Amino acid sequence: MKYYNFSAGPSMLPEEAKLSAQKDFLDYKGSGMSVVEMSHRCKWYEEINDEAEALVRELMNIGDDYYVLFVQGGASTQFEAVPLNLLVKGRADYIVTGNFANKAYKEAIKYGDIVCAASSKDKNYTYIPDLNEVKFREDIDYVHITGNNTIFGTRYTEFPKVDNLVADLSSCIMSEVIDVNKFELIYAGAQKNIGPAGMTLVIVKKDAINNPMPICPTMLKYSTQAEAKSLYNTPPTFSIYMAMLTFRWLKKLGGVSAIQEINERKAEKLYDFIDNSTLYTNSVAKKDRSLMNVPFVTPTKELDAKFVKEASENGLLTLKGHRLVGGMRASIYNAMPEEGVDALIAFMKKFEQENK
């Protein structure tokens, strides 16, 4: 039986990347060591670190005016690192479009004059606020958004037109082409489109990291990581190595523009089936639907549970929805092949016929 993992994260990785890691696991490039045991100061690991950074820059077309950092602590640590590093005037505006956007907002409140400029909580985060109607304050340090909402299945199809935009792109990084120059800072947990859990990618303008708050811990200062090329302390070496292999896979595939075409095709297939179904529904505003996370429900919780159980028995794994919304959720990140979505749709069709 062929298995497909629809987990929201940690999520499936490209098979090619896993096979490469398997091949070199016991002895990386004749070093006599596995990547999981070699020093982060040795030449083999420094080459991995350098290649990973170079590939991120190439895949996302990042200029020399940005640092590319590999840090620890997940995106949740960045909820505090961002205000600690960027609050110079002490003011920032947040758009709250989901659970993690709200967590980021609540953490930032501790450090300054933080305002929720817009929210979609009134409709259980099923849409993205109209950016034409959002009024940001004058003289703020940054505007913070969460680009894709993993739990609720929404995404920004356009971004706020501000000079100091900060974005959590954890669940959509490298899934579609973006202009990095529109952002002051981007951060993303690895465990959805990049690699295993443990590493977080930070892309930040070089001129934005020079005035951290005095209380900012050394490990959370972007300047600390930038000066040490992400090697200030022992980094999550294996996670960065796996990320490098995933970046290689994505480059070989044709880059971000190529995976965007595949992602749009996968999502369109799945949404079209749901929209034309008499059993399944998706409550997200169509214009704001995520390419990465597709939540859906049947008419009853009992039928939802039956669906998840039978799907798992048919090799379609981890489809249970988040506890905040229930139902099902298919996370179809970069590494999910198109045939995986086809297999899910075929099962959904069969289940619908059997449970009318």
97-136 pLDDT, tens digit per residue, is 999 999 999 999 999 999 999 999 999 999 999 999 999 9
pLDDT band for 19, please (50, 70, 90 cuts).
very high
In this predicted structure, the answer to whether residue 61 has a pLDDT above a threshold of 90 is yes
Secondary structure (3-state) at 211: coil
CA distances (Å), 87 to each of 70, 211, 309, 318, in order? Answer: 22, 8, 47, 39
Residue 356 confidence (pLDDT): 80
- The CA-to-CA distance between both ends of the chain, in Å, stands at 27
Residue 257 C-beta-side C-alpha neighbours within 13 Å:
4
Using a 10 angstrom Cβ sphere, with 0-12 exposed, 13-18 middle and 19 or more buried, the burial of residue 345 is middle
Parts of the chain belonging to CATH 3.40.640.10:
16-253
Residue 133 confidence (pLDDT): 95
In this predicted structure, the answer to whether residue 292 has a pLDDT above a threshold of 90 is yes
Residue 334 confidence (pLDDT): 98
What's the length of the chain? 356
Across the chain, mean pLDDT equals 97
Q: What is the DSSP letter of 71?
A: E
pLDDT band for 211, please (50, 70, 90 cuts).
very high
Q: Over the range 105-134, which residues count as b (16 or more CB within 10 Å of their CB) and which as e?
A: bebbeebbebbebbbbeeeebbbbbebeee
CA distances (Å), 12 to each of 144, 166, 189, 333, 350, in order? Answer: 28, 27, 14, 8, 25
How would DSSP label each residue in 17-31? Answer: HHHHHHHHSSSSTTS
Indicate the pairing of strand 148-149 with strand 328-331. unpaired
Residue 143 confidence (pLDDT): 98
Contact at 8 Å (CB) between 281 and 303?
no
Residue 313 confidence (pLDDT): 97
Q: What percent of the chain is modeled with pLDDT above 90?
A: 99
Model confidence pLDDT, tens digit, residues 178-200: 999 999 999 999 999 999 999 99
Amino acid at 348: M
In this predicted structure, the answer to whether residue 152 has a pLDDT above a threshold of 90 is yes
Please count the other Cβ atoms lying within 10 Å of the Cβ belonging to residue 251: 14
In this predicted structure, the answer to whether residue 83 has a pLDDT above a threshold of 90 is yes
Q: Does the structural domain 16-253 have CATH classification 3.40.640.10?
A: yes
Residue 207 confidence (pLDDT): 96
Parts of the chain belonging to CATH 3.90.1150.10:
256-354
pLDDT band for 95, please (50, 70, 90 cuts).
very high
Contact at 8 Å (CB) between 43 and 49?
no
Residue 11 confidence (pLDDT): 96
Residue 102 confidence (pLDDT): 98
Q: Across residues 155-173, what is the average pLDDT? A: 97
Residue 115 C-beta-side C-alpha neighbours within 13 Å:
15
Q: Does the structural domain 256-354 have CATH classification 1.10.3720.10?
A: no
Contact at 8 Å (CB) between 345 and 265?
no
In this predicted structure, the answer to whether residue 1 has a pLDDT above a threshold of 90 is no
Q: Across residues 64-80, what is the average pLDDT? A: 97
